[in-house]
Structure 1
Amino acid sequence: MPPLASSPLIHVIDTAPQLPGRLQRVARQLGASLHHCSSAERLLVDLDPSRACVILADASLPDDGALSLLGTLQQQGAGIPLIVTAAGADGGDVDLCRRAFRAGATDFLPLDAPLEVLAESLRKAIGTQVLNRVRHQRELRTRALYARLSGREREVLGMVVAGLTNKEIARALSVSPRTVEVHRARLGIKLETDSLAQLVREYAQLVDEDDGGQAWQACGRALGSPLAPSAAPLS
């Protein structure tokens, strides 16, 4: 999933020619461009995955076009929000509204919705799409950095995430605390983290996915017997 380009695009698929005209004001307010499509099929050809966008689809499109398009977007994992518009969508067709949301619609609005309502719905949809794309890119980067770790570094990371001290990790791995310090320093460099909190926040889930319970077994070994007395008094 590529990062989003700037300048959002509002795709409009409808059978009501007055809607694009009303959208011009909204598009200007949002700093977006309008792209009018005559069919869902045409839209799928024109979609640019690198651009922030939202789709407005008329519920009266032939062959359940709006709901069918929702299903296609879900299958593709496109992450593109779609707002269904319909005559009397303010409650006149509860079943249609329910079906749209079940299919994954972002919102369900009447064709004559006030411009401020339409603008807010579009703003939220585009904002959510951009936020989800940023999160996805961050996750890909995190996984790529995690893949750079050696087996021993992953062991150390698992125990750091579990909250063990350097001495406890050293006991579990039968190494010196100084060796653990070196491993932790390398973790910070390889994973590009500046603090323990960032390390735990960004990599705890990956540790859980990758570990298979090994870190917790090591934690048990580390905590199963009293810690050796410190060679130097604590200051």
Structure 2
Amino acid sequence: MSESHAAPDQQIFIVDDDEALRDSLVWMLESSGYRVAAFDSAEAFLAAWSDLMAGCLVLDVRMPGMSGLELFEELGRRRCTLPVIFITGHGDVPMAVAALKKGAADFIEKPFADRDMLRLVAQCLEQERASRGKRRQEADTARRLEHLTQREREVLDLIIAGKLNKQIADVLGISIKTVEVHRARVMEKMGAHSLAELVQHVVTVEPAAPTR
């Protein structure tokens, strides 16, 4: 079996009422080095769900009681960020395609090869890591923006709008030297090492930053 592609805090959550398939998946994934938690119903997973969960969810489309699709929709309402891989039977493909359009990561038809499931899991874990990293960066940028003074914020908005120091000085009625001081403080407070990095961070958080 291949090595795990998971970060230490990531886990694979399996929700399937088919005990044989569930046990087979647990064995296969654990043999590949993954941490796995299995549930025999959507209701059981929902009872255990926490927004601190990291990793991905392998979910059967059809189950007694709450279906996989209903669980997926409920998790969406709860703003769950776990990528979801649906397990489908032949007749369930249209439902799985509909789920993809609603944000599911992928689906796999039964019977499937271990290598195909492992490939999808690795892709989802990479996607989830990147998504969490992006959210952390956005939260950090938002926090840093809150620590700017009003004048620093005005200078930042004009930098984002592409204004040169002289233009910023003219708009704000201050000297170019003062603009340079504010600009340096903005770069320091925002933790940016270049103008491109500064712009990239801010427009990610505030795509419609005000311009002058």
TM-score, normalized by length of structure 1? 0.79
User: What residue number does 2:28 align with?
Assistant: 25
CA distance in 2, matches of 1:161, 1:180: 14
Q: In structure 1, what is the equivalent of residue 155 of structure 2?
A: 156
Does the 8 Å CA contact 2:15/2:42 hold for their aligned counterparts?
Answer: yes
* Structure 1: 5+ residue stretches without partners: 217-235
Within-5 A mapping of 1:1-235: 6-23=8-25, 24-29=27-32, 31-63=33-65, 65-88=67-90, 92-206=91-205, 209-211=208-210, 215-216=211-212
Tell me the distance in 2 between the aligned counterparts of 1:209 and 1:60. Answer: 42
1:150 is matched by which residue type in structure 2? T
Unaligned runs of 5+ in 2: 1-5
In the alignment, the residues of structure 1 paired with residue 59 and residue 38 of structure 2 have an alpha-carbon distance, to the nearest angstrom, of 10
Alpha-carbon distance in structure 2 between the residues aligned to 1:27 and 1:87: 24
Residues paired across the two proteins, number: 206
Q: Deviations over 1:120-176 (max 9, x none)?
A: 111111211121111011101101101111221111111112222212211121111
Inter-partner Cα distance in structure 2 for 1:138 and 1:116: 33
> What corresponds to 2:3 in structure 1?
none
Query: Which of the two has higher C-alpha Rg?
Result: 1
Shift of 1:70: 0.5
Is residue 158–residue 207 contact of structure 1 (8 Å, CA) maintained in 2? no
**Structure 1 outlier segments of 4+, above 4 Å:** 205-208
- Cα deviation, 1:53-74, whole Å, max 9, x if unaligned, reads 2222222202451011001110
Does the CA contact (< 8 Å) of 1:84 and 1:108 recur in 2? yes
1: CA distance, partners of 2:80 / 2:159: 36
Counterpart residue type for residue 154 of structure 1? R
Classify the secondary structure of the residue corresponding to 2:10: strand
1:180-216 CA-partner distances (Å, limit 9, x unpaired)? 11111111221121221211111235565452xxx32
Secondary structure in 1 matching 2:17 = coil
Give how far 1:27 is off: 3.4
Specify the code of the residue in structure 2 equivalent to 1:67.
L
Tell me how far 1:101 sits from its aligned partner. Answer: 2.2
* Length-normalised TM-score, structure 2: 0.86
